[in-house]
Structure 1
Amino acid sequence: MGCDGGTIPKRHELVKGPKKVEKVDKDAELVAQWNYCTLSQEILRRPIVACELGRLYNKDAVIEFLLDKSADKAMGKAASHIKSIKSVTELKLSDNPAWEGDRGNTKGDKHDDLQRARFICPVVGLEMNGRHRFCFLRCCGCVFSERALKEVKAEVCHTCGAAFQEDDVIVLNGTKEDVETLRKRMEARRLRAKQEKKTKKPKAAEAASKADAGEGEAEGRRGLRSGGGCVLQGPAGKDRPPFHRPCVCGLAGKPGAAPKRSIADSEESETYKSLFTSHSSAKRTKEESAHWVTHTSYCF
């Protein structure tokens, strides 16, 4: 069975079999995860941040995403869990002294070794190229290799000395199981924060109501005497009734205030009345008062 050109087709050219599953190049995948931003697909450059699931981003890309959450952005799904800038942590990375970058490739005739990492672990010295598991602390942002955290066990950060807990350790670019574990921790952490906010609101309302009740009790002790001004009611003892004192609140003479009443016409004791100048004992007769007044103390 030939064709016009005399060629004979083979069986695999005529019969279509099952498609082969395309295998992902692991080296290319590691380069994409550890050297490029998950959101903008651009090369990672400082400041570099990481989310609660362990993905790496450029900080400016995250800010642009939060300012413009367009539905047509395909990569927006990778950052759908980022609600605010507080959802990411700025990383404190240690530079790799063996990484030259683009400094030696000015002419464009030099091969860039993408397997050599830009950053290393400050404790053990392992390169952060994806072949070793790395993690960061959510409380301070310091980045270490998982081997360093296991070999040098401590409850404080190896670099800055900040205290951390097991919940603060987040694996960078972990496996699917690691991502699911981190997602559960993130949801539990956010639910806990919402519950704390709800409990704080009733406490603030209760404190405000207590303050209002205290003011109302103070105002309840202040009453208006019949035909007199504003008075304060003192506490009553076991053997004495509550007594009244005149209040210096400035309500006398104002519109709506009770008319001012002389202390001489009140029902207080004579001893209490003698303290005021309106009492008869404080007044002098003409014989007792002098007929002249000293204008000045100078003698002429």
Structure 2
Amino acid sequence: MGCDGGTIPTRDELVKTKKKPEQKDKSADLAAKWKLCALTQEPLRKPIVACQLGRLYNKESVLEFLIDKSKFECASSFDHLKSLRDVKELNLTENPALKRREAEKGDGYIDMQTADYICPVSGLEMNGKYKFCFLWGCGCMLSERAMKEVKAVVCHKCGKPFQTEDIIIMNGTEEEVDKNWDRLEQRRAQAKLAKKAKKHKSETISQDGATSSKQIKTEELVNGKSEKKDSKVTGLKLDKTKDKLNGSKQGAKTVSNGSSIQKDPTTSSTYKSLFTSSDKAKKQQSAHWVTYNPQYY
């Protein structure tokens, strides 16, 4: 049947050919990467964060992912997100020429290339047509063209210094994603080394503090011992002085008594004759009351 009446069949009608795989709509793919969250595929809304591989997220969805990963089907492809330290909040520049739409109605044309944000230096829209990058130190989003044309070591927007390692390309190719992976591993290794160095420094400071406290204690003990020795020496001196005073007092008592001096065999007779207790003094006549006992010989 068929092929009569002057019809001319084509090759597709006569030969079965393999169907070509469906190709993605480039505009829709770019809009999904630059306007939707990579985790939940919801429209991006501030605060917007980016990971070290150059993907865009809503901060709320990242927090939900960190709390419970079982809610997300594609959790295995986001294993590099372990904490909020692995993402950076972006400092974006809004597009002043953007007209906000209230609702999409009818069969009107919807321009998918309009972007909510632009480069603050070149004014290029962040819609996927142009390469964009952000600085890991400050989070400012800039176009690659601006970074190449205006070469500087300081951020063009906020003025903070940065290094070439801090530049992360957004939604790049496979090669660019591999470079971002290498830089991510380097940052993590540097962070581990810095943490170990800080821990070692704190341990050395604590050891120094312990040694200094031991030195202070030993000094206190030495000072205490020296003070005890000084107190002992002073005590001995005081005891000696007390003994001397007591001896002098006893001597005074013996002198006042007189009898002990007269009985002392070691003293001479001339020394004994000086006191009233001597025999010569007793034999001497008493003086007149006016002269008050001058003891004339």
Normalising by structure 1, what TM-score? 0.70
Conserved 8 A contact 1:155-1:164: yes
Amino acid at match of 1:73: F
Equivalent residues of 1:134, 1:172 under 8 A apart: yes
Measure, in 1, the Cα distance between the counterparts of 2:104 and 2:57: 27
2:154 match = 156
Describe the shift of the 1:176–1:192 C-alpha distance in structure 2 as closer, same or farther (beyond 3 A): same
* Matched residue type, 1:26: K
How many residues matched?
241
SS in 1 for 2:198: helix
Counterpart of 1:232? 224
* Structure 1 residue 75 corresponds to structure 2 residue 74: yes
Deviation at 1:93, TM superposition (A): 1.3
Q: CA shift at 1:91, angstroms?
A: 1.0
What is the Cα deviation at residue 216 of structure 1? Answer: 1.9
Q: Is the 8 A contact 2:27 2:112 kept in 1?
A: no
State percent identity of aligned pairs.
46
Structure 1 SS opposite 2:224: strand
2:251 equivalent in structure 1: none
Per-residue CA deviation, residues 126-157 of structure 1 (Å, 9 max, x unaligned), is 11111100111111111111111111111111
Q: After the TM superposition, which residues 209-288 of structure 1 pair with which residues of structure 2 at under 5 Å, given as runs?
A: 209-223=207-221, 232-233=224-225, 244-246=226-228, 263=231, 266-268=232-234, 280=242
Write out per-residue CA displacement over residues 15-38 of structure 1, whole angstroms, 9 at most, x where no aligned residue.
865453332222221111111110
Structure 2 gaps of 5+ residues are 3-9, 246-297
Q: Could you say which residue in structure 1 is the equivalent of 2:280? A: none
Instruction: Find the aligned partners of 1:86 and 1:73 in 2 and give their Cα distance.
Output: 20
1:231/1:132 CA distance change after superposition, 3 Å: closer
Q: What are the Cα deviations for residues 178-233 of structure 1, in whole angstroms up to 9, with x where unaligned? A: 1000100001110111122122222222221222122223323444xxxxxx9525
Separation of aligned partners in 1, 2:105 and 2:174: 41
Q: Is the 8 A contact 1:38 1:78 kept in 2?
A: no
Match of 1:113 in 2: 111
In 1, distance between residues paired with 2:82 and 2:177? 18
Alignment of 1:185-204 (within 5 A): 185-204=183-202
For the residues of structure 1 that align with 2:220 and 2:44, how far apart are their CA atoms?
A: 70
- The CA deviation at 1:60 is 0.7
Which piece of structure 1 moves more, 39-48 or 193-202? 193-202
The whole-number CA distance in structure 2 between the counterparts of 1:87 and 1:47 is 15
Q: Secondary structure at the match of 2:227?
A: strand
Task: Provide Cα deviations, 1:41-75, integer angstroms capped at 9, x if missing partner.
Answer: 011111111110110011111111111121x6222
Cross-structure match for 1:226: none
Query: CA 1:25–1:106 in 2, change beyond 3 Å: closer, same or farther?
Result: closer
Pick aligned residue for 2:173 from 171, 175, 179: 175
Q: Is the 8 A contact 1:39 1:78 kept in 2?
A: no
Q: Deviations over 1:241-269 (max 9, x none)?
A: xxx1249xxxxxxxxxxxxxx94xx2348
CA distance in 1, matches of 2:21, 2:105: 40
Give SS of 1:167's match: helix
Q: Name the structure 1 match of 2:45.
A: 45
Cα separation, partners in 2 of 1:65 and 1:174, compared to 1, 3 Å: same
1:12 Cα shift? 6.8
Check the 8 A contact 2:133/2:143 in 1, yes or no: yes
Q: Which has the larger radius of gyration?
A: 2
TM superposition score normalised by structure 2 = 0.70
Point out where structure 1 has 5 or more consecutive residues left out of the alignment. Answer: 3-9, 224-229, 234-243, 248-261, 284-300
SS at match of 1:209: helix
SS at match of 2:168: strand
SS across alignment from 1:63: helix
Greater helix share, structure number:
2
